[in-house]
Structure 1
Amino acid sequence: MRQPRELRSMIEDPTHGPEPAKVRRPFAEKLSARRRREVVAVLLFSGTPMFESAIPLSVFGVDRQDAGVPRYRLLACAGEEGPLRTTGGLELRAPYGLGALSRAGTVIVPAWRSITGQPPAPALAALRRAHSEGARIVGLCTGAFALGAAGLLDGRPATTHWMYAPTLAKRYPSVHVDPRELYVDDGDIMTSAGTAAGIDLCLHIVRQDHGPEAAGALARRLVLPSRRGPQPATAAATESQSRYFDRSLPEDIGADPLAEVVAWALEHLHEQFDVEQLAARAYMSRRTFDRRFRALTGSAPLQWLITQRVLQAQRLLEMSDYSVDEVAGRCGFRSPVALRGHFRRQLGASPAAYRAAYRARQQAAEATGRLRHGAETGRKAADHPVPRLPGQRGRTGL
């Protein structure tokens, strides 16, 4: 039976209709008998940041059974010949090699050194073999590029640091990249956004394996929120990395013919224009423009344009006293209602509530700064008391 035209258009471009629900897939294969779910292998490469590499090592490599956190067995594995150089020129020597991945039920790639380079072929083969034998494969931040190079993200939803999401989408066109999510759980394949979102995904894995109490105990030990990221359907709002977006363009956009059109759009967000007008400026049909734009930025042009308008509104709400209606007009929205709907979907709050919360945080920070300044002034006065005049008794002071 042929689908209605409107339904087909929503499937081809989800920005024309409600966002599809994320469905978590079951594990593709039964876990091999030689693999153990409690064994976590962390695949390390040279040239990767120390912080990202240390996240899974800390979460899964420290015995916290006294705090009610079940113990994992950690295998730190070198993905290439060592020593492995990391942030600050430090050199690491991993106790295990790629062979140890054959025992792990969870394999984590905390980072990959280059968003344009190809990881070593033996490491990619080991990742594919682990996945085929039922292991859970996890990519934190730029680790998603290693999973993409191994072909494990084909046809799947994934995320990475918002700054690298367009490059991931362009490099691996079959991957459904969502730069808004802190992490994406697709069953046997998981990916996270940058840096701190890797901790969120690791806590999610503990929650999935041992329940919310164990994850909460671990979060308390790490002095972290127990849960960020995708929430149950009953939750009022969802944490995302959308609030951290800026207007940066993909690193390789400068040489593309669409760069001028994209730059023009960013400079004229206060005007009302649509994707048809952008396509006309690029001298392309709408269909060709949509395809070229998605390949360049990793996003449909309509969704990209809405996101940029919301980001502009976010800045105006923070830095100006314009009313919500005025902000809507200065950001190219046709009505305040349109602004409110898109703003809530992207940032999880109404424009008025966002402004109130932002200003409350600013006032609290200023109050804290004044208290610290007063305390510092008091300490300096105690260290350098006002000298007494000759014959003066008792307390001194002005």
Structure 2
Amino acid sequence: MHAWPASEVPALPGKGRDLRIHDTATGGRVTLAPGPVARIYVCGITPYDATHLGHAATYNAFDLVQRVWLDTKRQVHYVQNVTDIDDPLLERAGATGQDWTELAERETALFREDMTALRMLPPRQFIGAVESIPRIIPLVERLRDAGAAYELEGDIYFSVEADPHFGEVSGLDAEAMRLLSAERGGDPDRPGKKNPLDPMLWMAARDGEPRWDGASLGPGRPGWHIECVAIALQYLGMGFDVQGGGSDLAFPHHEMGASHAQALTGDYPFAKTYVHAGMVALNGEKMSKSKGNLVFVSALRRDGVDPAAIRLTLLARHYRADWEYTDAVLEEATARLGRWRAAVSRPDGPGADALVEEIRAALANDLDTPAALAAVDRWAATQHSSGGTDEGAPGLVSRAVDALLGVAL
């Protein structure tokens, strides 16, 4: 599976700052200090519908992480998956009478178009669950053979008790985990499980559903969490720098994935830092495909909305905040984009070296994009009110906003 084309990231004078970011596992901020190559894994879409603003907000957050790292003169090894076989995809295909593979391919293609328009930096590896099945099967077999997994009516379950660190990613108690497991694709009430929280690694073939030869596991298809583990271990290895996704992935997805990997390898941790983006709401409820209250990036683009304005809409809220989308929010972003473009269109302006450092400092402080945008607003306001004489300033501002915030002026 291929990703999307990369937009050029302008080079800036000087060097950026190391990123301090909120780590879900510790509940506090940590300073990310990767080696020369920073490693990040971000969980991707289940492609049964187009990219909505909740998706875009999540990928925007981790695009910023990459941009901060690039500004520190590091390379970035970014991996993202596509869950192109899962219950929601099959259910949508069945409800609409579509072939599930065609549905997945179409929506993945649309996702690529949206990411390109929003200037999201692409992953080095963009890997589907289906193409990962040959990697997944041996991992499930290893877990089973090591006693970390067991069979129940043909299905293979992971035993959460096989990992002494289980629970450390989300920090939730057993009852909270059980409730979220039931809500987010688990089956805590299934009779015969050793622990209600045990997640499925391999689902035995069901009538009318796609299946693969699982070798000693029998025909079937993979569970959700083991997919990301197989991909991350293949391309990044243990102890990579950041595991990212929306806040609804902290449990069960990231919790279970960490335990799978730690039980498989005997090493700890799976990821050094767990970073989660907030949820976007519409009409008082979290944007959700199941609820249908979605604002699609592709629909906004078809309506003529500048992708840079969509990106500024996302940047105006802190990445960890839950917030609600309204037409007024987009109008504010469109107006801001107009002010910024008018400001950099002049032949000279107020000196911008200090502004670049303000943006860097804001982003290094847990990706504080509202502070970064406010700094650019102040420079633009000065430009519009009194101007300046620095001929290089407008170009520097334009390059900095592009390089650090991903907004093309």
- TM-score in terms of structure 1 length: 0.29
Higher RCO structure, 1 or 2 (CA under 8 Å, sep 6+): 2
Bigger strand fraction: 2
Structure 1 or 2, whichever has the larger Rg, is: 1
- TM-score in terms of structure 2 length: 0.29
